[in-house]
Amino acid sequence: MNQLDALRQWTTVVADTGDFRQLDAFKPQDATTNPSLILKAVQKSDYRPLLDDVLRKHDGLPMDEKIDRLLVRFGCEILSIIPGRVSTEVDARLSFDADATVARAERIVGLYRAEGIDTASRLLIKVASTWEGIEAARRLEQKGIHTNLTLLFSFCQAAACGDAGVKLISPFVGRIYDWYKKSAGASWDEAANAGPNDPGVKSVRQIYDYYKRHGIETEVMGASFRNVGQIAALAGCDLLTISPELLAELSSRPNSDAPLVRALDPQAAGTRDIARVTLDEAAFRLALNEDAMATEKLAEGIRAFAADAVKLEKLMTEAA
């Protein structure tokens, strides 16, 4: 047994990639994508025919619809390989517009359904964890459209997502780690901040324990990992979405050399003394504002995804 096999004993393994030709090697249950991953994939020769085919079939459509059709094309290819769900992201430029997010999500769902996909069981719509994004997710879940709330860095975002009844959240372990390491500068002690003491790991554990303690059904999927140590420290989390590079590293490590142990356990979490938190919009915005790391990383993440959406549009315009 390798460490990837060991991890699967407690955690659903999800591949974080647009490069779906890599999926067979790791046999993930689910897969996640984002605009940056799709942009990276379509610049490879293996995937250029998909881009060209979308442009040929849908010439004359508005660019935003072409983008959605490209995302759905990748999603359908991924679903032909994996047994579970794919996450497809709404344009990050709509992160502060709940109505527009809902409309765009519904269009994406319609495109999947037109391809014969059972969207209730096989699709998650990814939305940034802004107040507006969480409100959009609440409305989508009420319509039976399941959501994956991404760019999540703080407990207040997780608490609001739980209250909204979203299907799944993706707390970004690695980006939290990055912020604290950069903030500490020369005083950063890597060994002291590794494993269960990693600030990203601690954030996910807090959210996981809170959800399990209060019977919140929202699934927790740790994301954005920098090393296998972070993954090992979250063994037992509901899901973990992992890059192909780290999946390969886990699969190459015999579990007998450094056996993984379950780090997160729902029964243990359910016994902890954790108060229930309910946030209205004003309280949410204040709590997020008080968390400098979450405020900065959320804004940075939206800017980065928006910038890659613009780059993808430019690439598609030039290729048309």
Amino acid 6: pLDDT: 96
**Closest listed residue to residue 151, CA positions, set 306, 265, 311, 24:** 306
The tens-digit pLDDT sequence of the chain (320 residues) is 999 999 999 999 999 988 888 898 899 999 998 888 899 999 999 999 999 999 999 999 999 999 999 999 999 999 999 999 999 999 999 999 999 999 999 999 999 999 999 999 999 999 999 999 999 999 999 999 999 999 999 999 999 999 999 999 999 999 999 999 999 999 999 999 999 999 999 999 999 999 999 999 999 999 999 999 999 999 999 999 999 999 999 999 999 988 999 999 999 998 889 999 999 999 999 999 999 999 999 999 999 999 999 999 999 999 98
Amino acid 176: pLDDT: 98
Amino acid 102: pLDDT: 98
Amino acid 255: pLDDT: 92
Domain boundaries, the chain: 3-319
**Closest listed residue to residue 130, CA positions, set 14, 16, 297, 276:** 297
**Closest listed residue to residue 74, CA positions, set 21, 125, 127:** 21
CA 295, 97, 223, 315 torsion-angle sign: negative
How far apart, in whole angstroms, are the C-alpha atoms of residue 32 and residue 89? 9
Buried b (16+ CB within 10 A) or exposed e, 147-163: bbbbbbbbbbbbbbbbb
Amino acid 34: pLDDT: 85
pLDDT digits (tens, 9 = 90+) for 114-129: 999 999 999 999 999 9
CATH class of 3-319: alpha beta
Cα–Cα distance list, 246 to 9, 72, 169, 181, 265 (Å): 18, 26, 21, 20, 23
Active-site positions?
Answer: 126
**Closest listed residue to residue 9, CA positions, set 262, 276, 255, 306:** 262
Cα–Cα distance list, 238 to 30, 85, 206, 235, 261 (Å): 12, 14, 14, 9, 15
- 8 Å CB contact between 189 and 320: no
What pairs with residue 58 in β-bridges?
none
Q: CA 311, 101, 143 angle in degrees (round to 5)? A: 140
How far apart, in whole angstroms, are the C-alpha atoms of residue 44 and residue 19? 9
Amino acid 177: pLDDT: 98
pLDDT digits (tens, 9 = 90+) for 241-279: 999 999 999 999 999 988 999 999 999 998 889 999 999
Amino acid 271: pLDDT: 87
Amino acid 18: pLDDT: 86
Residue 148: strand, helix, or coil: strand
Amino acid 117: pLDDT: 98
Q: Give the pTM.
A: 0.95
Amino acid 190: pLDDT: 97
Q: What values do phi and psi take at 264, rounded to 5?
A: -115, 130
